[in-house]
Amino acid sequence: MKGFVREALTTILVALVIFLGLQTTIQSSIVLGSSMEPNFETGQRLIVNKVIYRFDGLNRGDVVILRPPSNSSVDYIKRVIALPGETVEIKDRLVYIDGEPLSESYISDPPHYTMKPVEVPQGYCFVLGDNRNSSSDSHIWGPLPLDNIEGKAWLSIWPPNDWGIAPKYFQD
């Protein structure tokens, strides 16, 4: 009987360690709203890497899950557009980073609004939704504190036709 109890406790302990390890490194997230269309759709489920930014820096083009500055209870999904120390401006239906137009083949409709130049302070980034004209993002509430980033969209797990690594578009 002692052996059985020891095996049961060991199994429970191992399961608990695995569970806690997964809870601190990944999470699932559901896309709500149209702000990231056409690349992410309402109801799409993602696995989010919560530890990547402890080992690797934030990059332009990363798709991140974040807590909006409005302290909403719902996480947002947005794309990193500008990094600390860069200046972002939106005019003539284009996004400019440090005066250079950003190549954005992943959006279906350019922004129909303008935004005066904003320098992104240290400890912040600038995020936009891929659906530029239907997104509550940094063009409305300003640069996002890096501490508000929950993690990087890593895998799409639902619906089945979207299974795979979450799309990332590189711009330099």
112 touches 133 (CB < 8 A)? yes
Residue with the two structure tokens 């590189």: 170
The C-alpha atoms of residue 162 and residue 42 are separated, in whole angstroms, by 12
Report, as residue numbers or ranges, the catalytic residues: 35, 78
Reference 29, options 117, 142, 164, 151; nearest CA is: 151
Number of other CB atoms surrounding residue 61 within 10 Å: 17
